[in-house]
Amino acid sequence: MDGNAGGKQRGAWAAEWWAMLALAWPLVLTNLSQFALGLTDSVFLGRVGTAELAAATLGSNLYFAALAPTFGLALAAAPLCAQTRGRGRGHLRGMRRDVRAAFWAVAAGTIPTWLLLWNTEAVLLALGQEPQLAALAARYVGAMMWGMPLFCGFVVLRGFLAAEQRPNAALIVAGFGIALNIPLNFWLIHGGLGLPAMGVAGAGFASALCNLAMLAGLVAMIARDRRLRRYHLFGRLWRFDAARLREVVAIGLPIAGAMALEITVFSAAALAMGWLGALAVAAHAIAVQVAAMTFMVPMGVGQAATARVGLATGAGRPAAAARAGWVAIGFGAGFMALAAGLLLLAGGPIAWLFLDAANPGATETATLATTLLLVAGLFQLADGAQAVAAGALRGLKDTRVPMLLAGLGYWVIGLPVGVALAFPAGLGPIGIWSGLATGLFIVAGLMLARWVRLSRSGGLTTRLWPR
């Protein structure tokens, strides 16, 4: 390779780093903002009592497990819009069809999800949870579930904006959602302004109202933007587009499957914690919240990878697509290495942020949560790598094989190992988390191996689907 060619390659890599950073950081902050809605609920309810925190944790685990199919369909909008935008010709009409089909898919997925969530108490009792916790969890989920389709609609529009390389609108709206959630939690949980104290149900209603506000805000910002108005995204939403809907389902259901496998393995871990008592559930809740917060960064980088890889793939530029994927993986791995150090060194102080020392069982909960955070620190790098690699693969519309890899790592290996360590081996909560760590390492290795194979010279061209 001569010096001129080498300089061009270095310039291309540097340009991709800056482009990825410009797209990823608003998406990361948007994810952190959305995560902060649930974190705010946990902080408020943790100061009400351990039972309320444990119930909200059980309820939210069931909620997100049930949400996965509809959420996956909403996420399909991002690779569809990115590849349509990359092709250029006819992209206005094409992206409008992509968004409309994703909205239809979300609407279709909402009804069965609502039916399941309406029976939260019965489901949790059937899974062996304590009656008191199941009843409280049902009140929380019964309020929060009304915001589910609104959140998924927000995700569809966020994917469209990412394909347009315009992620800031979603960030602004999500920041407003956080600001709104704090007073709503205080008001609805504790009562005031003529309303009675609602406890856990108040936290659920606060999250649902924030989802409504965020979707409405994003719709308004898109409608007011001269460039984005050209797409007429909200015109004739009632028009049924069977061809595009089939494509959303073909791409989105495997995304949903992979997400469901990951979400439900953590939900199953929470249920297993329920067999060990409310204190174990509360400690698990703290560790999950912290691990989920750090996960928002590689998740946002993975969403940026979906858009950047999809744009390059749609334009028929496989080398650029491979470069975008590797840059994203580097970003995600670098951040998670820093997060691992933080959790390993400061797990105790972090755990106490969620607890009031005056509440019964707070000291025992903090001690156990600190130990679980040490385990979480060990699997940070693997969790970040698998999230970004999955996002890059979605940019290629490669979703079926990653779903199977997730099933193997999480359910065939990770969860059985965790249960075996927790109960027959007698390690309790630490055993469950050790199994989760094992599963994450395996999934990360498999996802990276798949990306390596597809990103080799010419390999990406095989992922272009005719439309």
The pLDDT assigned to 3 comes to 56
* Least confident piece of the model among 81-95, 285-299, 390-404: 81-95
| Res. 466 pLDDT band, cuts 50 70 90 | very low
Range of weakest confidence among 21-25, 84-88, 324-328: 84-88
Residue 245: which residues within 8 A CB-CB, separation 6 or more?
101, 104, 105
The predicted model gives 340-356 an average pLDDT of 88
Asked whether residue 72 carries a pLDDT value surpassing 50, the answer given is yes
18, pLDDT greater than 90: yes
Averaged confidence pLDDT in the chain: 86
What pLDDT score does 457 carry?
46
Tokens of 286: 């703290």
Which residues lie across from 192 on neighbouring strands? 195
CB-based contact 111:149 (threshold 8 Å): no
In this predicted structure, which of 57-61, 122-126, 134-138, 344-348 has the lowest mean pLDDT?
Answer: 57-61
Q: Among 88-92, 282-286, 306-310, which range has the highest average pLDDT?
A: 306-310
Whether the predicted pLDDT of 378 surpasses 70: yes
What's the pLDDT at 464? 38
With H, G, I as helix, E, B as strand and everything else as coil, classify residue 377.
helix
Does residue 399 carry a pLDDT above 50? yes
Tell me, what's the pLDDT at 89?
A: 67
Contacts of residue 436, Cβ cutoff 8 Å, sequence gap at least 6: 265, 266, 269, 375, 379, 414, 415, 418
Does pLDDT of 460 surpass 60? no
* CB contact burial 318-352 (16+ within 10 A = b; e otherwise): bebbbbbbbbbbebbbebbeebbeebeeebeebbb
What's the mean pLDDT in 117-146?
A: 90
Average of per-residue pLDDT across 446-461: 76
Residue-level pLDDT at 388 = 96
Q: Is 191 exposed, middle or buried (0-12, 13-18, 19+ CB in 10 A)?
A: middle
Q: What is the pLDDT of residue 269?
A: 85
**Stretch 59-68: mean pLDDT, rounded?**
84
CA 394 to chain centre: 14
- Rounded average pLDDT over 196-221: 90
More confident position, 9 or 150: 150
pLDDT above 70 covers what percent of the chain?
95
Q: What is the pLDDT of residue 467?
A: 34
Higher pLDDT, 17 or 274: 17
More confident residue, 266 or 385: 385
Using CB atoms within 10 Å of the CB of residue 456, give its burial: 0 to 12 exposed, 13 to 18 middle, 19+ buried.
exposed
Structure token digits, residue 240: 């049924």
31, pLDDT greater than 90: no
Instruction: Place 43 in a pLDDT band, splitting at 50, 70 and 90.
Output: confident
Contact between 155 and 75 under an 8 Å Cβ cutoff? The reply is yes
pLDDT score at 90: 63
**In 276-361, where does DSSP find H-type helix?**
278-314, 318-352
Classify residue 198 by its DSSP letter: -
CB atoms within 10 A of CB 195: 12
Question: In which band, very low, low, confident or very high, does the pLDDT at 448 lie, cut at 50, 70 and 90?
Answer: very high
Q: Could you tell me the two tokens for 239? A: 């028009």
Q: What average pLDDT score do residues 188-212 get?
A: 84
- Average pLDDT on 252-265 reads 85
Average pLDDT over residues 323-340: 93
> What is the reported pLDDT for 268?
83
- Answer whether 415's CB lies under 8 Å from 358's CB: no
Least-confidence region, from 176-180, 192-196, 221-225, 390-394: 192-196
Q: What is the mean pLDDT of residues 185-198?
A: 79
**Closest to 57 (Cα-Cα) out of 279, 387, 374, 259:** 279
Q: Answer for the pair 292, 37: CB distance below 8 angstroms, yes or no.
A: no
Domain boundaries defined on the chain: 12-456
Query: Is 375 in contact with 437 (CB distance < 8 Å)?
Result: yes
> What value does the mean pLDDT take over residues 85-97?
80
Mean pLDDT of 328-334: 93
Greatest mean pLDDT among 111-120, 232-241, 286-295 lies in 111-120
Q: How is 6-30 classified by DSSP, letter by letter?
A: HHHHHHHHHHHHHHHHHHHHHHHHH
Tell me how crowded residue 243 is: count the other CB atoms within 10 A of its CB: 9
